[in-house]
Amino acid sequence: MAAPELGPQLSAYEGEPDFTGVTTNPETDNQGGVDNATMYGAYIPSSGVLSGSRVWCIDRGLTQPMGNGYDEGGKSSVEAPELAYILAKWDEPRDDQADQMAHDMAIGEHVHSSDEIDHRDILDDRSLQEVTDGIGWNEDSQNLKAIGADAFYDDVLPDAYDLSALMGDEAAKYAGDGTYKAEVTIDEDSSTAVVSLVNSEGVSVPGFDGELTVDGAEPETTEITSGESSVEVPLEFTDEVPDVSVSVTFSGLPTGSVTQWNPKDFDADDYDRASLQAVIEGQETTAQASDSYQGLYTPKVSSQVSVTEITELPAKVTDKVRLDHCAPGETIEDVKVEAYVEDGTITQSETVPEDAELLETFTPDVTCDEGGTVDFETDELALDADFAKPGEEKSVTFVASAPASGSNEAFSHEYGVPSETVEIAIPEADKPDDNPVVKTGAYVDSADGGPNWNLVGGLGLLTVAGGLIFGALRRHKTGN
């Protein structure tokens, strides 16, 4: 093909790029013929809008990028989930380019062969192994010379083949539609933060770095790497009642797209090897998630009835209740204090016996103060005059309880707690004898048709009967 009539020519570009892989392009390395002209590696232009960026050529056989050959007008975003995954997972600056050549060659193979992006190739697509098998050794190649022939053939090429296969398998398994979600939950039972990174299909995606931010606990580590299953990070809660929040941020994630930079001569009618390649670079994003755990307070109940014994009815009783260790500032919903009655003496038990009779249910409004304590008192329980009969024993007891509410666990006092129980015993009233004996020292005998008084015990026993009896005795004696 003839060189394009329009657009900049190779000789006009300034700034020879660094190259991190291996090339068979004769304009770079003088290796191979035109049929072997391709490059496997990242390019770092030293001028123009791409200065310092790691970019990847996508047009097999065209010239490597030159910094001044690109501008913002040629920039676009192309959806390519698998290629985006490979760049995000594997593409990174290499401190020692020669030692990392295999990684960049493997990435380069996927860039050249990806069907997720369009190519302007002038060479047929061939595998990395097909190209490098015929590369030949050239001591003038800077990267090849840096690593040495033996190391290149014995180590770099086999590693590059293996890495390329691994990258392809991972991308097919984990890329999904190119969207990723961070997840974190606090497991209060095991005191751990459970963290994962999943794709659009809910598959855990391994190998991306995340950072934890934790309040209210000391994490075993704040730096994690996502795995094929959830990652558990032990937490040491700093308070007796935990109030913990955990957030995780995964960075360096693929967006599902790559940025494509078309050269200024991209729209030329014709192009040959002097035309610059279009290049791509990865896009990065973050995924965040958070969770919080407010440990539950366990209210502790104590109470005291206003009177513990009743011997006279009617009477009134109240129950004063104290809650300790409740959630500061929170209203406790559905608190109730129930009053029960039983005959005789109540035996303390965890639950209310079946034969206990419910007298009344009080529903006070209860809000815990900032110190974690609250005191409240029931309305009066009125016991009528006929509540217990004389000589009968009964017992009344109060039970305070509430279901779980907000940060408070459910609580219930035991049944028949002595401080909540009133003993009721009404004494019997004094009553006359059914067969009374008059102890006067005298009795009346009505025999012989008329009054006949007989004395028992002499005159000294007449004092109770008084003057009436004494006078009668005197009349009886005078008449004889």
Domain count, the chain: 4
| Domain end among 277, 309, 331 | 277
97 compared with 469, residue with greater pLDDT? 97
Q: What is the CA 5 to chain-centroid distance, rounded?
A: 64
Report the side by side order of strands in the sheet with 192-199. 180-187, 192-199, 231-237, 217-219
Q: Are residues 91 and 145 in the same domain?
A: yes
1-17 pLDDT, tens digit each: 333 333 343 443 344 45
Whether residue 105 lies inside any domain: the answer is yes
Residues 221, 171 share a domain: no
Residue 135 in this model has a pLDDT that exceeds 90 = no
Q: Are 116 and 83 in contact (CB under 8 A)?
A: yes
Which of 92-101, 137-146, 316-325, 450-459 shows the lowest per-residue confidence on average (mean pLDDT)? 450-459
- Whether residues 36 and 89 share a domain: the answer is yes
Task: Say whether pLDDT at 451 is over 50.
Answer: no
Torsions phi, psi of 404, nearest 5?
-60, 140
| Same domain, yes or no: 126 and 214 | no
Q: What is the pLDDT of residues 385-403, one digit of tens each?
A: 999 999 999 999 999 999 9
Q: What is the pLDDT of residue 30?
A: 43
Residues 363 and 219 in one domain: no
What is the pairing mode between strands 39-40 and 22-23? antiparallel
Is residue 437 domain-resident?
no
Under 8 Å between Cβ of 49 and 74 = no
150/214 same-domain check: no
- 242 and 106, same structural domain? no
DSSP letters, 316-379, are EE-EEEEEESPPTTPEETT-EEEEEEEESPPPPBSS--TTPEEEEEE---EE--TTSEEEEEPP
DSSP 8-class letter at 235:
E
Task: Tell me, yes or no, whether 167 and 59 share the same domain.
Answer: yes
**Residue 436 has what pLDDT?**
59
Report CA dihedral (169, 173, 174, 175) to the nearest 10 degrees.
80
Point out the domain boundary residue: 277, 311, 326: 277
Percentage of the chain exceeding pLDDT 70 = 78
Domain annotation covers residue 3: no
Same domain as 341, residue 311:
yes
CA dist., res. 468 & res. 480, Å (int): 19
Query: How is residue 139 written in tokens?
Result: 């001591």
**pLDDT reported for residue 56:** 93
Which residue, of 277, 309, 341, is where some domain finishes? 277
Record the tokens describing residue 442, joined without a space: 């005298």
100 with 230, same domain: the answer is no
**Residues 51 and 172 reside in one and the same domain:** yes
Question: Does residue 333 lie within any of the structural domains?
Answer: yes
Q: Examine the domain organization and report whether 306 and 383 are in the same domain.
A: yes
DSSP helix/strand/coil, 162: helix
> What does the alpha-carbon distance between residue 227 and residue 222 come to, in Å, rounded to a whole number?
15
Residue 380 lies in a domain: yes
- Strand pairing partners for 100? none
pLDDT recorded at residue 99 = 74
For residues 66 and 43, give the distance between their C-alpha atoms in angstroms, rounded to a whole number: 9
Question: pLDDT exceeding 90 applies to what percent of the chain?
Answer: 60
Q: Name the average pLDDT for the chain.
A: 83
E runs forming strands in 188-305: 192-199, 209-215, 217-219, 223-225, 231-237, 243-261, 279-294, 300-305
More confident residue, 159 or 124: 159
Tell me how far the alpha carbon of residue 89 is from its chain's centroid: 28
Q: Are 364 and 433 in contact (CB under 8 A)?
A: no
In this structure, is residue 464 part of a structural domain? yes
**What's the confidence (pLDDT) of residue 378?**
97
Distance CA 316, CA 325 (A): 30
Quick check: is 251 in a domain?
yes
Over residues 410-419, the mean pLDDT reads 96
Q: What is the distance between the terminal CA atoms of the chain, rounded to a whole angstrom?
A: 180
Domain presence at residue 16: yes
CATH of the domain at 196: 2.60.40.10
Domain that holds residue 461: 442-479
Confidence class for position 470, pLDDT limits 50, 70, 90: very low
Q: What is the pLDDT of residues 282-327, one digit of tens each?
A: 999 999 999 999 899 999 999 999 999 999 999 999 999 999 999 9
CB 145 within 8 A of CB 52: no
